[in-house]
Amino acid sequence: MTTTMDEPAAGRAAAPPDGLPRLLPLVPGVPEDLGAHLARYGRPPYRGGPGLLIHGVKAAGLTGRGGAAFPVHRKVAIVAGARGRKVIVANGAESEPASRKDGLLLRAAPNLVLDGLQLAAEAIGASEAHLYLHPGFGPEIGHALSQRAAAGLDRLDVSITEAPPRFLAGQESALVNRLGGGPALPTFTPPRVSERGLGGAPTLVQNVETLAHLALIARYGPRWFRALGTAQEPGTMLATVYQADGISQVMEVEIGVPLSTLLASQPAAQALLIGGYHGTWLPMAQAASLTLDNATLNQRGAAVGAGVIAALPAGRCGLVEAARVARYLATESAGQCGPCLNGLPRMAAGLAELAGRGHRKQVRADLERWAGLVTRRGACNHPDGTARFVASALTVFAPEISVHARGHCSATNRTPFLPLLHGMPTTEDDWI
Amino acid sequence: MSGTTAFWYASRATGIVSLLLLTAVLVLGILVNRQGRLPGLPRFAVTSLHRNISLLAVAFIAVHVLTAVLDTYVNIPILSGVVPFASSYERGWLTLGAISFDIMLAMIITSLLRGRLNRVLWRGVHLLAYLCWPVAFAHSIGSSRDLQHGWLLDLSIACALMVAAAALWRLAHAARQLPRAARVAAILARHSPPTGTRGPARARERIAR
């Protein structure tokens, strides 16, 4: 098939691309504008009616790339099956401070995200489309929207809302509350936003990377999508990888790739944080033999999450790093649910005590108990994620806890390693 | 004591115990709502205690109703445990008992389904506790001659005073609650060691020695 024959008919560009990258620009670091995007992928292949794309998405086995890895077709089918006004939201809030992949995707390939947004909107029969973007998003997405309007690519107007710089701002119900004009705070589910979301309308919220994959599945089909990745978790994913030398990079990788291939061998790392700040620490010796997919990671109590992989260098103190993150997570509690409001600051203080020198004997047992007590007791999964993070730090850095108990610390470098945002919420406006 | 009077005594005894349990459940519920605590117990334990005693209370009330029905001295139909006006004996007071039991069942069912229910609905039903307790109390005092004098009357008054005190405490506490945005900072400040120190004072001294 030639490009010229194919383009007018189904909107496809040349032959389906092989290998990597699928989403990121062909020339690393050079964003693709609408011209480059159309030359590479062609126009978005609208199906002509709601529901028609769901089968392909299901066959492709696409899962959400925002962190929860929920099957995309299930949420799409729920909203598509509902009656009345429906809303679609592309979630690019990327409220995880260690993750940079959504921001990069929105700069480098905004048109792929917008294609996915329009195609998913068609699949559910949406009458309203929103983009929910991370604080301080760049001008690229606005340029892309105006270029697309001129080219007549979009069927639905897209309105942009900026997320507040809060860890929970990207959580589905917080997002819907923010778009509705209120603070970005999570509320109890049910109802799920796919049943009753923005203004009461069934709302499909998908991560921007998920929508970019969906745009490619719509073009090249499920069989192409499954050519990379594992049988259970097909496709590629964007990962934010922090090497032990402190250099970080967003990479598009095949799901199921050995973690060791993502990490430089030098300088040596002692532990790996997988999934982000709701994620899990693993000792480097164990992590080196694992692959980047939930089937493997779940066996070790870890998950791919938002695709953050951070190698903690040998010279840093894992307890100090974990305590910094735990304190940040505590300050980011919405303060709505008792276990989270009361439990997270205690856990943060307990971990800070362990990270200091000489601690009370019972602190470690207290931390483990509190981690168990807060789990599954919030409106959102913030207490669960924080408890997982703290519990894995206690396990992985257990030798360091004994060192600290004797009044020492093995760190040779005390500069903070993991990136954090500063400024905890002090007024209701900080969630807006 | 024949088998018949055994039922009668059992019914009255479980009724009195139920009143005590319901008083405890309501006071604990207020404590849970205000995130208060009991000496020596973590906050989470107060929640479990509230939950477990409420289930225990319902078990006692079930026995209370069942033994009253099984007792043949007066004729009380089984339905009168849950259906108002179903008994010709002490119709008014038993109706109050049925109403309070129905409210309790509604609260327990909505609490068991809490994960699947809308929070506003759960909360609305749970607020009926403030109606349920006085109704159950009126049923107790009204239908039982025993509670109308002597030390059982003192006990009933003590229960009522505790509930009233807890309810007033709740209102006063709600009035001076911190705004949401200030809560985490306040709790974090309470639990964090002062900045600049590493670990608690006791541990630092030990290292210094």
Q: What percent of chain A has pLDDT over 90?
A: 84
Instruction: Tell me which chain B residue has its CA closest to the CA of residue A338.
Output: B35
What integer pLDDT is reported at residue A260 of this predicted model? 93
B95 inside domain: yes
| pLDDT more than 70, % of chain A | 97
What are the start and end residues of each CATH 1.20.1440.230 domain in chain A?
318-416
Residue span of the structural domain in which B56 resides: 3-179
State the pLDDT at residue B37: 81
B196 occurs within a structural domain: no
Region A3-225: CATH code: 3.40.50.11540
Q: Which residue has the higher pLDDT, B89 or A110?
A: A110
CA distance A25 to A414: 37
- Number of structural domains, chain B? 1
* pLDDT computed for residue A153 by the predictor: 95
In B82-141, the residues whose Cβ lies within 8 Å of chain A are: 116-119
Q: Of the ranges A1-15, A54-68, A223-237, A309-323, which one carries the lowest mean pLDDT score? A: A1-15
Contact: B180, A335; criterion CB under 8 Å: yes
> Low-confidence residues of chain B, pLDDT below 70?
1-4, 193-209
**Does residue B52 sit within a domain?**
yes
Interface test mutation site (partner A, options B187, B202, B205, max chain A beta carbons within 10 A): B187
Interface contacts (A, B; CB < 8 Å): 90
The arrangement of secondary structure in A318-416, i.e. its CATH architecture, is Up-down Bundle (1.20)
In terms of Cα–Cα distance, which of A368, A371, A277, A383 is closest to A324?
A277
Residues of B in contact with A401 (CB under 8 A): none
Contacts of B121 in chain A (CB under 8 A): none
Chain A residue with minimal CA distance to B197? Answer: A356
Q: How many angstroms away from the CA of B110 is the closest CA of chain A?
A: 13
Determine, yes or no, domain membership for B44. yes
pLDDT digits (tens, 9 = 90+) for A128-159: 999 999 999 999 999 999 999 999 999 999 99
ipTM over 0.90? The verdict is no
pLDDT on residue B3: 58
Distance from CA of B45 to the nearest CA of A (A): 10
Q: How far is B74 from chain A (nearest CA, A)?
A: 47
**Over the Cα atoms of chain B, what is R_g?**
22
User: Model's pTM, two decimal places?
Assistant: 0.74
Residues of B in contact with A345 (CB under 8 A): 184, 187-188, 190-192
Instruction: Give the pLDDT of residue B134.
Output: 97
Q: Which residues of A261-282 are buried (b: 16+ CB within 10 A; e: fewer)?
A: ebbeeeeebbbbbbbbbbbbbb
pLDDT of residue A14: 59
B203 at the A interface (CB within 8 A)? yes
Let me know if residue B188 belongs to a domain: no
Average pLDDT over residues A398-425: 93
Average pLDDT over residues A244-258: 95
Note whether residue B194 is domain-resident: no
- How many other CB atoms are there within 10 angstroms of residue B96's CB atom? 21
Residues of chain A with CATH 3.40.50.11540: 3-225
Give a yes or no: residue B193 inside a domain: no
Please compute the mean of the pLDDT values over residues A261-266 and round it to a whole number: 89
Across the interface, do B118 and A334 touch by the CB < 8 Å criterion?
A: no
In the predicted model, what is the mean pLDDT of residues A214-237?
97
B205 found inside a domain: no
Chain B contact set for A187 (CB, 8 A) = 119
Q: Are A122 and A50 in contact (CB under 8 A)?
A: yes
> Is B182 an 8 Å CB contact of chain A?
yes
Q: What is the pLDDT of residue B206?
A: 37
Give yes or no for a contact between A107 and A101, defined as CB atoms under 8 angstroms apart.
Answer: no
Cα A251–chain centre separation? 14
Instruction: Please answer yes or no on whether B35 and A425 come within 8 Å at the CB atom.
Output: no
How far does Cα A228 stand from its chain's mean position? 20
- Distance (Å) from the C-alpha of residue B41 to the closest C-alpha of chain A? 13
CB contact under 8 A, B203 and A327: no
**Of A9-18, A37-46, A90-99, A225-234, where does mean pLDDT reach its minimum?**
A9-18
pLDDT at A7 (0 to 100): 39
